[in-house]
Amino acid sequence: MNSLESDPGAEPVESHGRSNFIRDAVIEDLKAGKHDGRVQTRFPPEPNGYLHIGHAKAICLDFGLAAEFGGKCNLRFDDTNPSKEETEYVDSIMDDVRWLGFQWDGLFYASDYFPQLHEWAVQLIKAGKAYVCDLTADEVRRHRGTLTEPGLESPYRNRSVEENLDLFQRMKNGEFPDGSRTLRAKIDMSSPILSMRDPVMYRILHMEHHRTGDQWRIYPMYDYAHGQSDSIEKVTHSICTLEFENNRPLYNWFIEQLGIFPSRQFEFDRLNITYTLLSKRRLLTLVQEGHVKSWDDPRMPTLSGMRRRGYTAEAIRTFCANISVSKTNNTVQLSALEYFLREDLNKRAARVMGVLRPLRVVIDNYPEDLVEEMDAVNNPEDENMGTRLIPFSKVLYIERDDFREDPPKQFFRLSPGREVRLRYGYLITCGAVVKDDNGNILELHCTYDPATRGGKTPDGRKVKSTIHWVSAAHAVDCEVRLYDNLFTKENPNEVEEGQDFTANLNPSSLEVLSGCKVEPSLREAPIGSRYQFERIGYFCVDTDSAPGRLVFNRTVGLRDTWSKIEQRGKK
RNA sequence: UGGGGAGUAGCCAAGCGGUAAGGCAGCGGACUUUGGAUCCGCCAUCCGAAGGUUCGAAUCCUUCCUCCCCAGCCA
């Protein structure tokens, strides 16, 4: 997994400076001289899964703001729940952030702050603001009340400071079993804000932590750890997603009670994309239940999956900059992501010719043993990428899709009696169609016009179509993996009663093609390298490749006007 | 239902009292040795609804409607 080190993707990140309400707030604070003009953010993932494109939006915001205003952005792992967290995730997250093109200032872990957090808890107990509660999880829930009814105070709410101190110490010492007691903040059981109804600060968990080992038997809850961690690092703008708006009063409460640096929380909308699931929990399910091969399966919206599929960091950043940041629930169409992907790949990917579904073509009037080297442009968008030579010979492969025995209206490609251009080759005219006993087309016999070498037409004659090809004797065999949406529904979460999102899985999200033919220049193509197969799409060399065994991923297809016309004709 | 958020085109999204930016998608056309790329044009008399204030309202006020989040010892 993650074996694309060859592509650090760390181009310098320019700040786009596109306006959004959080950026506006930062500018306001700067104008007001807040924090002496200091801007500091943080990206705080929990290491319980791989990062996906939704995280990329947050990363671009957090790091982008810091970069734009000369501030700092830390990477902080929110590792307060050892039951879900692993170092594998920590490592992948660091890889992904770097690959996206960002470098953190400080690298921290919430677990670094366990001692300080503990000390503050003791301080709150002494101040009568926290107490040890012996209620079970179930009892706590029943005491919490409902949306419309106030909660009930815990019978343990008014223990003496001494008793609380003693009990908390013994919790810490590991004297009590999991779930038997908690430390709770003493706030207000009748608050209309549920998170203020004496929230749990610490729970007992006899569990190995990925960093602190068996040092702790009590672990702080998110609400008790997050704001203080921000505060310790002197984060000025703590940016998170909308669902945490409910937690903001509590975030502020701890900071105020403790009288520590007042980090301020801002919430923005999380990213949704059609036909895509962006939830670590669900992505974990896909991996664990084997619906995909791994976290970096190219069909996954994880950054590692997208990277393996051939996405560039630049394309993802441009996408994030363009969808902007607001507070509305939204679902961006997949086509928007693909647009920015193609836009970037168009500029950087070398053009090559590759035939996915080969159809043999014999040029009857071409000399038996002649091989000509044809000049081809590597990238019409970038002259600096130069040219290369492609061998042309008597027997070629063309795409099966580029031939129709009985061409529909508007089909401009090859058909009996018709002339087309072989890109950088010659103009050829189709003669005989050879079939087997079942009527399957085996090969085509064509004739070429020697005056059209390189695909030129000295007589000014026009052909309606130019198609790609590969010389049969020189072609390199390879496997090509075509990907389609992982889900068949725009909203994969929309399911019938009794089903779960896996019911919307697309059974043909992966199509493996073998016996594909690519031009010889690709023989030694390194893993991760990206190409445009002319007229087909963008492809990259997959990590499953090995010497003598080339595997390509289709990153995304080219815009396909013909298929649109054809679809329209069918309706 | 108590609390917290949000409603501008098919999808994102600017706009902050002076008469609806931009992008994606779509449609038309030009160009083309990729049906690619590029270029040009079209695409909201209207901003969830209804009232009101104002010379003037997407922007201010009132009421209503819809959607999202919160009742983990998850984050």
Q: How far apart are CA A500 and CA A496, in angstroms?
A: 8
* pLDDT score, position A136: 97
pLDDT digits (tens, 9 = 90+) for A226-277: 999 999 999 999 999 999 999 999 999 999 999 999 999 999 999 999 999 9
What are the start-end ranges of the E strands in A21-71? Answer: 40-43
Q: Burial code of A168-177, b = ≥16 C-beta within 10 A, e = fewer? A: beebbeeebe
pLDDT class of A128 with cuts at 50, 70, 90: very high
**pLDDT over 70, % of chain A:** 97
Q: Is the CB of residue A158 inside 7 Å of nucleic acid strand B? A: no
Find out if CATH 2.40.50.100 is the number for domain A273-348: no
C1' of B50 to CA of A460 (Å): 68
Q: How far apart are CA A390 and CA A523, in angstroms?
A: 13
Q: Is the CB of residue A410 inside 7 Å of nucleic acid strand B? A: yes
Tokens 């509590």 found at: A250
pLDDT digits (tens, 9 = 90+) for A85-106: 999 999 999 999 999 999 999 9
Mean per-residue pLDDT of chain A: 95
A144 is written with which tokens?
């919490």
DSSP 8-state class, residue A340: H
Q: Is the CB of residue A27 inside 7 Å of nucleic acid strand B? A: no
The answer to ipTM > 0.90 is yes
Partnered with residue A480 across adjacent β-strands are A513, A552
Q: Could you say which of 2.70.98.20, 3.40.50.620, 1.10.8.350, 3.20.20.70 is the CATH number of the domain covering A3-272?
A: 3.40.50.620
pLDDT class of A12 with cuts at 50, 70, 90: very low
Q: ∠ CA A329-A334-A340 to the nearest 5 degrees?
A: 110
Torsion of CA A30, A33, A37, A38, to 10 degrees: -90
Three-state DSSP state, A553: strand
C1' of B2 to CA of A144 (Å): 13
Contact A530, A538 (CB under 8 A): yes
* A46 is known as an active-site residue: yes
* pLDDT score, position A5: 31
* pLDDT score, position A3: 35
* pLDDT score, position A9: 34
* A423 is known as an active-site residue: no
- Residue A14 pLDDT more than 80? no
* A511 is known as an active-site residue: no
* pLDDT score, position A498: 85
A418 is written with which tokens?
């018709």
C1' of B51 to CA of A148 (Å): 32
CA atoms within 13 A on the CB side of A156: 20
Contact A221, A203 (CB under 8 A): yes
* pLDDT score, position A2: 36
* pLDDT score, position A7: 33
Q: Which of A99, A87, A513, A544 is nearest to A298 (CA)?
A: A544
User: Would you kindly state where each structural domain of chain A is located, as residue ranges?
Assistant: 3-272, 273-348, 351-475
Find out if CATH 3.30.365.10 is the number for domain A351-475: no
